[in-house]
Amino acid sequence: MGNAENTAPAAVIVLAAGAGTRMKSRTPKVLHEIGGRSLLVHAVNAADGTGPGELVVVLRHERDRVAAHLGEHAPEVSVADQDEIPGTGRAVQCGLEQVTAAEGTVLVTYGDVPLLDPATLRDLVAAHEGAGAAATVLSARVPDPTGYGRILRSEDGSEVLGIVEHKDADDSQRAIDEINSGIYAFDLAVLREALGRIGTDNAQGEMYLTDVLSIARQDGRSVRAVVTEDVMMVEGVNDRVQLAQLGAEMNRRILERHMRSGVTIVDPSTTWIDADVTIAQDAVILPGVQLHGATDIGTEAVIGPDTTLRDTEVGAGAEVVRSHALLAVIGADANVGPFSYLRAGTDLGAGGKIGGFVETKNAVIADGAKVPHLSYVGDAEIGEGSNIGAGTIFANYDGVNKHRTTVGRHVRVGSDNVLVAPVTIGDGAATGAGTTVRKDVPPGALGVSAVSQRNVEGWTMRRRAGTAAEDAARAALGAEEGSVARTPAGTAAEEHKEHEQR
């Protein structure tokens, strides 16, 4: 954080001490997520975007849990603890104890207003300082202001005379459509002094932050309001319904931003993209796609339909169809799916293929290598240009430890193989269909483990008598009715031999 811009505030205080009881959750309200970030991280990012000299978050409910979350996502932020005295005024007073600056502008925002952005806050600071005000409130005009505090302006509209809560407003005041967002810019010295004069002698027994505005007016200082045209910027989350509503609005804005940057999103109504996802120009996102975390999509890549990617990198020109990937890398012009599961550590090279019903984990699949069908590849390295036959299993677990399999360059692994790790198949080697590979296959060699095939003639007629299979077999053999006895003489020895071989 720094003071690079002229409108940078001396400090920002983010209030996040409330319990959020209307969420009806064991998770603190500010830790609920939309767009891949917690509400609190959205709020901190907006505050940090103003370039403040100091950034303080005030906590109380589930203090240690929320502080740990901040330490993980915003370690540069200072934490202040609100004591047992209730009210937003007291919360700000506790936050100011962490602020070392003696003068300048201090912003007060909230940890449950996720759509608020840095530009809006910077505009608030600029208007506040430009007017030389003691306090400036961010307001909005709404069609239905029921339940909100109303902004009372002077006759010429330049000054704020006060803020009246809905329950205390008369009919004429309730007709006012300009509401208080609760987000403020204050002169730091005025704020410190005014908070020292606020008590809890009211019906709620709380220290009200709005009392600072009244004190400033009594002292002859200027109090202003700045109206935001974007009402959603100041909407807060109080319950799960509002969480979903603001989550949908954030997603709409994210999708619109990507589309205006040259990304094709075929069906925005079924597409969800987190705030930290990056998508290059001319990528195509098909219906039913969810892109989460730090996922990065390359130019002209095609994702979907019905695909979920989390923290996954997709190269230029790659295609991912009806698949799920987590912490994976998909190279340029590679193909994945349909119905594949790429688990953490999967790295598919350029032009490679992970086909239908394939699961991979901690597997490096080099350029041009293919795992086309019905396979599990775990803890493996597959060399350039190699092909893994359908139904192949990389048996990586011995019941105690995981082991790694190495498949060299331009190897052809036959269908229905089991590669029992640790094992290496050398460059240019091959394995036969149905092979269980328990030891290394040298470069250029053919590894086989199947026994020679033996056909037991007449088996169906003896062991499946009276079934449709017998009828089909007899018809195919062209046998006349009764020409082959159902239990021909001399078959007992063959049955015994067959049993012994089994």
Would you say how long the chain is, in residues? Answer: 502
Which of 393, 377, 390, 380 has its CA nearest to residue 436? Answer: 393
Which of 384, 392, 387, 378 has its CA nearest to residue 421? Answer: 378
Q: Which two tokens stand for residue 463?
A: 């062991």
Plot region of 368 (φ>0 → left; ψ -120 to 50 → alpha; else → beta): left
Which of 357, 432, 435, 366 has its CA nearest to residue 395? Answer: 435
CA 213 to CA 195: how far, in whole Å?
10
Burial of 435 (0-12, 13-18, 19+ CB in 10 A): buried
Residues labelled as active-site residues: 373
Helix, strand, or coil (residue 137):
strand
Strands 272-273 and 296-297: unpaired
Token pair 């597409």 in the structure block, residue:
271
First to last CA, the chain: 75
Q: How many CA atoms lie within 13 A of 392 on its CB side?
A: 30
Q: Which two tokens stand for residue 468?
A: 């449709």
